[in-house]
Amino acid sequence: MNLANHHTFCFGIEIELLLESPSKKHRTWEALAQDLSKRLKAAGIRNHVHDNHGYAEWSIVREVTVQDPDGRNPYQYGVELVSPIHVATSLPILAAQLCKIFAVVNTISTPIKSRRCSSHVHVSRRPILSPQELAALAKAALYFEAALDALMPPERSGPHSHWAQSNRHANNPCLAGLTLAECLAKVDAAAAAHLAAPSLPLDAKGEREGKEIGERVEEDRPADARRPLVETMNLVSRESRYGVVRRKKAHFVRGKTYKWDFTGLLAPPRGAGEEADHRGIDGTVEFRQPPGSRTAAEAVTWATLAVAFVAGAVELGTAGVGLGSEAGGVVGEEGGSREELWKLLEKGREALGWVDLRALDGLFWGLREE
């Protein structure tokens, strides 16, 4: 029985680009952005400059992290294109929009190949994923990490990728140092922990005590149903570089440096404002690992991969299919094979109502023929 409904899955993509103003025509980022906006509108792409979080049309946002940190070329500008919210069945519409967008971008500047650029895909479902469904996704993300790494360039899969660290990175006190099987068990425990979470006491600082992950977390209110899972995947040690710089006294939730960011399912602490360590509730899970997209086809590939992966993981988890079932239920440290990953994506395709996964052919065929 297909338990997913393709009308309920939504997604959006954020594309980081490094553009260079031709003949030093644009003396500021704002000038380039306004020129790009005008050209996109002429091509029929509704958009605005700067982000208003409405997601009804494309946003053109400044992205300083992809620019040369030494500022040796002041006419190179970092641009992030943020898509409107799409439902799963509108993937062809997104693909058509991206073809127009990249055609317009190339009239200004051919996107510069840069290891600093990335593509992020946000996926949500209505109704919001339950703790058990979120646990199924978290376990799939951990189980298939090596298989997904094999699809990525080294800068998005190695240990030095600051903005796409493993969720099992040494900075995560929940999962660091554990075997894969132990990590999966940790996720299961977190999914069950929400039943008791509201009754956990608060200490004098408003921090929870006696929680399963064994560490106090900076919060000023009791956990909601998904908090234990978000903490398991996105906790950051107070002893990390960021924690030391921010003078953290307790471990804290911050998803934007991990491959999978679950913090869109969690409200930030009250009063955090702009100092919040995560973005706050938008109902999405963010797949942050893909590299920059310099063509429409590349962007569609990453969107297809992310949405099919989330839908497939939720579908298998809801159906009670255990990870590693093809190996007799034994979970080795290497995790799932590329063949298993493809089967999960096919399950997602079926749940979404898609005809095929043709957008992934170029990504998978070479690997599968080895």
Q: Are 170 and 359 contacting, i.e. CB atoms less than 8 angstroms apart? A: no
Please check whether residue 114 lies inside any domain of the structure. yes
Strands 76-82 and 252-253: unpaired
Does residue 67 carry a pLDDT above 50?
yes
pLDDT digits (tens, 9 = 90+) for 259-285: 999 999 987 666 555 556 776 678 899
State mean pLDDT over 206-232. Answer: 56
Q: How many other CB atoms sit within 10 Å of the CB of residue 176? A: 15
Please check whether residue 83 lies inside any domain of the structure. yes
Q: How far apart are the C-alpha atoms of 152 and 113, rounded to whole Å?
A: 15
Please check whether residue 90 lies inside any domain of the structure. yes
Does residue 23 carry a pLDDT above 90?
no
State mean pLDDT over 101-125. Answer: 96
Please check whether residue 319 lies inside any domain of the structure. no
Q: Can you give the CATH number for the domain in which 47 is found?
A: 3.30.70
Please check whether residue 85 lies inside any domain of the structure. yes
* CA-based end-to-end distance of the chain: 34
Q: Please report, rounded to a whole number, the percentage of residues in the chain having pLDDT higher than 90.
A: 70
State mean pLDDT over 195-205. Answer: 44
Please check whether residue 77 lies inside any domain of the structure. yes
Please check whether residue 78 lies inside any domain of the structure. yes
**What's the predicted TM-score (pTM) here?**
0.88
Domain region containing 87:
9-125
Q: How many domains does the chain have?
A: 1
Kindly indicate the confidence band of residue 210, based on its pLDDT and cuts at 50, 70 and 90: very low
- Report pLDDT for 38: 98
Please check whether residue 354 lies inside any domain of the structure. no
